[in-house]
Amino acid sequence: MYKGVNRSPVTVIILSIVTCGIYYIYWLWQVKNDINGLTGREEISTGLFIAAIFIPFIYLIIWNKADNVLDEVCREKGVGYQKNFIMWLVLALVAGVGLYIAEYQMQEAFNKLWEVN
What is the domain partition of the chain in residue ranges? 9-116
Angle between helices 59-77 and 85-94 (to 10 degrees): 150
Whole-prediction pTM: 0.93
Contacts (Cβ under 8 Å, ≥6 apart) of 94: none
Q: How many CA atoms lie within 13 A of 26 on its CB side?
A: 11
Kindly report, residue by residue over 62-109, the tens digit of the pLDDT: 999 999 999 999 999 999 999 999 999 999 999 999 999 999 999 999
Q: What is the pLDDT of residue 56?
A: 86
